[in-house]
Amino acid sequence: MKNIFLFLTLLVLSVSAHAQQNQIKQDSTKTEKLDEVLVNAVRVSADSPITHSNVSKKELQKRNLGQDIPSLLNYLPSVVTTSDAGAGIGYSGIRVRGTDATRVNVTINGIPYNDPESQGTFWVNLGDFASSTESLQLQRGVGTSTNGSAAFGASLNLLTDAFSDIATGEISNSFGSFGTRKHTIKLSTGLLNDHFEISGRFSKIDSDGYVDRAFTDLKSYFLQGVYKDGNTLIKALTFGNKEQTYQSWFGLTIDELKADRRQNPYTYENETDNYWQDHYQLHWNERFDNNWSTNIGLNYTKGKGYFEQYKAEESASDFNNLIEEDSDVIVRRWLDNNFYVANANVTYKNNGLELVSGLSYSSYDGDHFGEVIWGSDLAANTNIRDHYYDGDATKNDFSIFSKATFKFAKKFTGFIDLQGRFVNYKTNGLNSDRNVFITDANFDFFNPKLGLTYKQSNNSSFYASYAISNREPNRDDFEGGVTKNETLNDIELGWRFSKKKVTLNSNVYYMFYKDQLVLTGELDDVGSPVRVNVDDSYRLGVEVDASISFSKFFSTSTNITLSTNKIKDFGVAINGEFVDLGDTNISFSPQLVFGNTLNFFPIENLRLSLLSKYVGEQYMGNIDNESSKLADYFVNDFNINYEIKPNRFFKSIGLSVLANNILNKKYVSNGYFGSFDFLDSSSSTGTTTGYYAGYYPQATANFLVGVTLKF
């Protein structure tokens, strides 16, 4: 297998050399935008046999009033979002087709964003990033080859702001419920001397949160320098964020939820998460002629931060005997990591053939350590900030791919995508429980994808695809003793129809897994989900996405997903005995997800939108226990956008109003579920299994109002 990928590497290098020998200046208006080359390797075209949705900057800005990107994507097909603080700001999450965020591959300009160890995506570290996003594409299923951890249900790739030919400026301010405030300044010099542009954004977002004291404080920036000369585009950019959030990941019990759904069980005033993250990217895009283009991307990410927590009457041995037995203690758990990425891609287009080949290499190193910053009774010779555990981890990830889209008949287009991915993950030292944590694991993956598109007419096309994806366990899995990789087979069948006023996308998917790591419903001691391998499982569903423009005054967009998501022959220990439960529902996988947007344009530059979302009932565990069930919910938002174009001072004045959950629905979008055994003399086995659950309440009726001045 490695010989195959060595051949592909040589192919990439030889193609690039050949292209340089045939460099020809071309009018850039005849080809795709140079900016888009950054994501060409990880995105697909409109007629690709990959199920996907595109979102433009214009669509993002309509509701961009401070909420995180998951909230802005809430109305896409098969998407379910949630927020720990309840208002969509801070720690937010996204699930697609029932798969959690650790399985949604996220890239920014083709650079992997998922944390290499946890594989999660922490949107709290991308404050107001929608204001610097040119477009994004959400691929459902395995999708095309991407960089970083493999997509296991969806991939989301973001393209940052394109360069501007003219000087621009923008000031945005928004205010709303729960003390929410967003302040953004954007500037661009435009192209100076027809070659150089400098642009930037600075943002500050604050929110008290719907949940008591679940505040969020985000400070972020985005700076970009561009050099453009004919068919050459070089971008140097940096973006980063400093966040502080008060913890609300513990949720509420059912009794607490009924008593006061906004309460927060934490009482320590500084139970906060504090993290700094800075990204540095350099991209060189070169178009040699209308056939050949290349992209080289480099990235360095620095992350550092801690979680502070108060613990009462703790065991001295749990803290390296830095405290006396049964002492109260305040600790900080630190992460200090570095992440390096290098990508290289080459694209060839000619007469119905598009060939894209590329490679990606990333290297991660992270230090994990905990320090005691206070104790009611410190042990002798203990100093404040002494470490009670230390560990480190490294992860190296190399992938290479080659994919081709080609016409082989008048109405048929083929697609083939071959990727090899090679991963090494090592850990050393102690984990936060002071257990020895030593890992040295290697994974070699082959991820092939095949597809076919039949263009029935200019308005109608059918597609079919089959893809295999493999991925490694994450850090928490290894800590829990899980070492097996998981494999996904994804079959997609779809039909697309498009006319001037009607667009329809429909598809059937069948995703069947080997050794899938499913969420058990339980959380670890820092709120991360616990997962377990299951031998055989599948997701089978139908997705329909339609947009209709009835007139210049009225349009609608609707999507619906119907699915069944099952673990085959699942067995667990209940009341001291092993029980075969047969086929059970996969956790956090609703059978029905529905979204709808009604748009009304009563006058020029005024848009009124009613957005509706229905999520069916779902289980938080995998044993179909009634106490693990989350009720279905139906929420409605109302969005108003009005643009004024004055003759002086400003190019435009944009007014936005977003009223969320206008029917004041009290709902829960996420939670956790677990079991425990206790001694019971009345039981035949002497043991009885009990269950517990926690819930994350989401905000009732609330609003955001914003003004954007462009000049």
Torsion of CA 18, 35, 236, 130, to 10 degrees: -150
The residues with which 235 forms a beta bridge, in sequence order, are 226, 283
Q: Read off the pLDDT band of 529 (50, 70, 90).
A: confident
How confident is the model over 355-367, as a mean pLDDT? Answer: 96
Topology given in CATH for the domain delimited by 2-710: Maltoporin; Chain A (2.40.170)
Higher-confidence residue: 681 or 505? 505
**Confidence (pLDDT) at 695:** 96
DSSP string of 613-653, one letter each residue: EEE--EESSSS--GGGEEPPEEEEEEEEEEEE--SSS-SEE
How confident is the model over 642-647, as a mean pLDDT? Answer: 92
Query: How many other CB atoms are found less than 10 A from the CB of residue 116?
Result: 26
How confident is the model over 623-645, as a mean pLDDT? Answer: 96
Comparing C-alpha atoms, which of 84, 116, 119, 87 is closest to residue 100?
119
Count CA atoms closer than 13 A to 44's CA, side-chain side.
26
**Confidence (pLDDT) at 277:** 97
* pLDDT of 41 higher than 90: no
How confident is the model over 414-439, as a mean pLDDT? Answer: 96
Burial profile 209-239: b = 16 or more Cβ within 10 angstroms, e = fewer: bbbbbbbbbbbbbbbbbbebeebebbbbbbb
How confident is the model over 45-68, as a mean pLDDT? Answer: 94
* pLDDT of 608 higher than 50: yes
* pLDDT of 21 higher than 60: no
DSSP string of 214-270, one letter each residue: --EEEEEEEEEEEEEETTEEEEEEEEEEEEEEE--TT-B-HHHHHH-TT--S---TT
**Confidence (pLDDT) at 40:** 81
DSSP string of 520-542, one letter each residue: EEEE-TTSPEEEEEEEEEEEEEE
**Confidence (pLDDT) at 19:** 38
Q: Read off the pLDDT band of 511 (50, 70, 90).
A: very high
CA distance 151 to 469: 7
Comparing C-alpha atoms, which of 222, 223, 54, 214 is closest to residue 140?
54
**Confidence (pLDDT) at 35:** 75
**Confidence (pLDDT) at 250:** 85
* pLDDT of 2 higher than 70: no
Taking only the tens place, the pLDDT of each residue in 213-244 is 999 999 999 999 999 998 899 999 999 999 99
Sequence spans of domains, the chain: 2-710
Residue 210, sorted as left (phi over 0), alpha (psi -120 to 50) or beta, turns out to be alpha
CA distance 459 to 319: 66
pTM: 0.93
How confident is the model over 259-267, as a mean pLDDT? Answer: 93
Taking only the tens place, the pLDDT of each residue in 166-216 is 999 999 999 999 999 999 999 999 999 999 999 999 999 999 999 999 999
**Confidence (pLDDT) at 165:** 92
* pLDDT of 462 higher than 70: yes
Q: Read off the pLDDT band of 664 (50, 70, 90).
A: very high
Q: Read off the pLDDT band of 17 (50, 70, 90).
A: very low
CA distance 415 to 129: 33
Comparing C-alpha atoms, which of 250, 76, 203, 178 is closest to residue 660?
178
Percent of the chain with pLDDT over 90: 84
Count CA atoms closer than 13 A to 447's CA, side-chain side.
31
Q: Read off the pLDDT band of 10 (50, 70, 90).
A: very low
CA distance 132 to 159: 9
Token pair belonging to 494: 């779809």
Percent of the chain with pLDDT over 70: 95
Q: Say which range, 75-84, 330-339, 527-536, 545-554, has the weakest mean pLDDT.
A: 527-536
Taking only the tens place, the pLDDT of each residue in 373-409 is 999 999 999 999 999 999 999 999 999 999 999 998 8
The answer to whether 399 touches 422, Cβ cutoff 8 Å, is: yes
Q: Are strands 133-141 and 168-176 parallel, antiparallel or unpaired?
A: unpaired
CA distance 509 to 374: 54
Q: Read off the pLDDT band of 31 (50, 70, 90).
A: very low
How confident is the model over 701-705, as a mean pLDDT? Answer: 98
Which of 510-524, 553-567, 647-661, 680-694 tops mean pLDDT? 553-567
The answer to whether 514 touches 485, Cβ cutoff 8 Å, is: no
**Confidence (pLDDT) at 710:** 95
* pLDDT of 517 higher than 80: yes
Q: Say which range, 276-285, 442-451, 517-526, has the weakest mean pLDDT.
A: 517-526
How confident is the model over 444-467, as a mean pLDDT? Answer: 96
The answer to whether 121 touches 149, Cβ cutoff 8 Å, is: no
* pLDDT of 52 higher than 50: yes
* pLDDT of 270 higher than 90: yes
* pLDDT of 13 higher than 60: no
Residue 522: φ, ψ to 5°? -85, 160
* pLDDT of 301 higher than 60: yes
Mean pLDDT of the chain: 92
Taking only the tens place, the pLDDT of each residue in 309-330 is 999 999 999 999 999 999 999 9
Taking only the tens place, the pLDDT of each residue in 562-575 is 999 999 999 998 99
> Residue holding tokens 């009732």?
700
* pLDDT of 153 higher than 90: no
Residue 459: φ, ψ to 5°? -110, -15
Burial profile 605-635: b = 16 or more Cβ within 10 angstroms, e = fewer: eebebbbbbbbbebbbbbbebeebbbeebeb
CA distance 447 to 111: 19
* pLDDT of 131 higher than 50: yes
DSSP 575: T
Token pair belonging to 705: 């109002």
CA distance 1 to 621: 38
CA distance 502 to 558: 12
* pLDDT of 7 higher than 50: no
